[in-house]
Amino acid sequence: MAETVKIVDARGSFCPGPLMELIKGIRQEPVGTILEIWSSDQGSAKDIPEWVQRAKHELVKNFEEDGVYKIQVKKLR
Amino acid sequence: MPQVVIVGGGTGGSIVANQMARQLNKELQDGTVSISVIADSPDHIYQPLFLYLAFDQATPQDMRKPERQILDRHVRLISGEANRIDAEAQRVILTDGTSIPYDYLVIATGSRPAPEQIPGLVEGGHQFYTEDGAIQLRQALRDFSGGRLVVTVGVPHKCPVAPLEFTFMVQEWLKTRGLGDKTEVVYTYPIGRVHSIESVANWAAPVLEERHIETHTFFNMESIDPETHTITSLEGDTLSYDLLVAIPPHVGQDVIGRSGLGDAGQWIPTDRHTLQMIGHDNIFVLGDATNLPISKAGSTAHFEADVVAANLVHRLRGGLGMMSYDGKVFCFIETGLKEATYITFDYDHPPVPSMPTEMIHLYKLAYNRMYWLTPAGLL
């Protein structure tokens, strides 16, 4: 069965911003959840993977679609 | 008779009630519309003063007024706690069992700090996000004789500039107490820069450095050990402290969880422009209660309330109510005890802070007194 992906629409978010929205999602969802952050900020494509590595979660996908940066992250712990 | 029920007597709920009441004055007098506010506290609290309360620059009396005095006399105030919202039956059930029917519901229940989510934080740390917490911190600061003061930030949290403001203010405050040389102020932040807004971070980082405030980025508090006075991040770093001031993670109010209306954090899925709860045409959500990726701040609730009130009035008069919220937020930023700056932004325009000035600081202090015009729906 395909894993469900929870979308976090953080387009246009300057504060708290896409990475904070991801951290919020990671904190409140159970281990194993895959979150897909949508960001209109190109910087997210770099900032989010950097945090994911430090926090020891898994970067599943990192791609751009119609000007929206979409980063999938799996909560590992 | 259409019944509008607003759950929450904070900034957003009070503005919606009063703006609607002013525009629907005739209908309210004729009894063809009713507006009710359900509030669990008899007093309206101006929460930004908690920051000043911690520094003994405000007292609890300065930040409260009876909600009844704030609301238009045609608005019914229901004192009680909402236990459950039954969206199917279109009713709000209070903890005493009273059932309040509605045709239109506005959820303005806000959020609450949840320090219990971080092991050791309740026992080992201080916070200024509640009145009691700010009073306890005021005492701890008064008793502080020097050492390592660590400011740490949970996610999500309201008033996103408060952590920086507190850090700048406490450092200056300690200097005025003659403790500047005996104190190290340490600031931690969850992401890779010192504030979520890049332009604010670019402005604040050199100021923190110039003021010799030690900073640690990518630091998400995971646990506190009150015995050893240490805090550990989920990224694996550990810091020692003598006085810990934490911005606790926040959750949506428990009534949202009990009603099954929210996500895992009790935030309500909300349309970012119409502010309607997803899947519910007659439920509007504003302020901290939404799941929107915008600042949890009084100004957010204020600008959202303008849209909700206008659209509800329009709909009650047979219109469609198509005014759209653009994501507008405005925040003052105290940069010490004598200067401040501000930012304003929306979904399409990033914030750009201007140079701090004494005038903006004085305006902020003046606004702290003028605030009562905001929930009155006048400012």
Q: Give the model confidence (pLDDT) of B208-253 as tens digits.
A: 999 999 999 999 999 999 999 999 999 999 999 999 999 999 999 9
**Is the minimum CB–CB distance between A47 and chain B shorter than 8 Å?**
yes
Spatial contact of B50 and B130, defined as CB atoms under 8 Å apart: yes
Q: Is A15 a catalytic residue?
A: yes
- Among B117, B234, B346, the strongest candidate for a mutation testing the A interface, having the largest count of A CBs within 10 A, is B234
Q: Is the pLDDT at A60 greater than 90, yes or no?
A: yes
Which residue of A15, A43, A55 is in closest CB contact with B235? A55
In this prediction the ipTM stands at 0.94
Q: What is the mean pLDDT of residues B289-318?
A: 97
Task: Tell me the domain boundaries of chain A.
Answer: 5-74
Q: Is the pLDDT at B353 greater than 90, yes or no?
A: no
Q: Is the pLDDT at A3 greater than 80, yes or no?
A: no
Tell me the fold of B115-249: FAD/NAD(P)-binding domain (3.50.50)
**Is the minimum CB–CB distance between A4 and chain B shorter than 8 Å?**
no
> What is the CATH number assigned to the segment(s) A5-74?
3.30.110.40
CA dihedral B314, B318, B320, B322 (to 10 degrees): -10
3-state secondary structure B74-128: CCEEEECCEEEEECCCCEEEECCCCEEECCEEEECCCEEECHHHCCCHHHHCECC
| Beta-carbon separation of B264 and A28 below 8 A | yes
Q: Give the model confidence (pLDDT) of B80-108 as tens digits.
A: 999 999 999 999 999 999 999 999 999 99
| Percent above pLDDT 70 for chain A | 97
- Chain A hits for B327, CB-CB cut-off 8 Å, are 12
**Is the minimum CB–CB distance between A8 and chain B shorter than 8 Å?**
yes
- Among A4, A6, A13, A14, the strongest candidate for a mutation testing the B interface, having the largest count of B CBs within 10 A, is A14
- Ramachandran region, residue B201 (left: φ > 0; alpha: ψ -120 to 50; beta: rest): alpha
Tell me the fold of B3-110+253-328: FAD/NAD(P)-binding domain (3.50.50)
Would you say the CATH fold of B115-249 matches that of B3-110+253-328? yes
Q: pLDDT at position B19, please?
A: 98
Q: pLDDT at position A4, please?
A: 85
A2 band by pLDDT with thresholds 50, 70 and 90: low
- Chain A hits for B351, CB-CB cut-off 8 Å, are 14-15
Q: pLDDT at position B177, please?
A: 95
Structure tokens at A33: 């959840």
Q: pLDDT at position B21, please?
A: 98
Q: What is the mean pLDDT of residues B21-45?
A: 97
Which spans in B101-249 are helix H? 121-124, 131-143, 162-176, 198-210
Q: Give the model confidence (pLDDT) of B266-285 as tens digits.
A: 999 999 999 999 999 999 99
The per-residue pLDDT of chain B, averaged, comes to: 97
The per-residue pLDDT of chain A, averaged, comes to: 94
Q: Give the model confidence (pLDDT) of A11-38 as tens digits.
A: 999 999 999 999 999 999 999 999 999 9
How far apart are the CA of A48 and the nearest CA of chain B, in angstroms?
Answer: 9
B76 band by pLDDT with thresholds 50, 70 and 90: very high
Q: Is the pLDDT at B346 greater than 70, yes or no?
A: yes
Which of 70-129 (B) contact A at CB < 8 A?
A: 117
| Dist CA B252 CA A14 (whole Å) | 21
Task: Tell me the domain boundaries of chain B.
Answer: 3-110+253-328, 115-249
Q: Give the model confidence (pLDDT) of B327-339 as tens digits.
A: 999 999 999 899 9
Which residue of A13, A17, A54 is in closest CB contact with B218? A54
Q: What is the mean pLDDT of residues B369-378?
A: 95
Q: pLDDT at position B379, please?
A: 86
Measured between CA atoms, the residue of chain A closest to residue B234 is: A55
- Chain B hits for A14, CB-CB cut-off 8 Å, are 196-197, 345, 350-351
Q: What is the mean pLDDT of residues B304-332?
A: 97
Spatial contact of B127 and B250, defined as CB atoms under 8 Å apart: no
| Active-site residue, from A15, A30, A54, A65 | A15
| Percent above pLDDT 70 for chain B | 100
Q: Is the pLDDT at A1 greater than 60, yes or no?
A: no
**Is the minimum CB–CB distance between A29 and chain B shorter than 8 Å?**
yes
Q: What is the mean pLDDT of residues B14-33?
A: 97
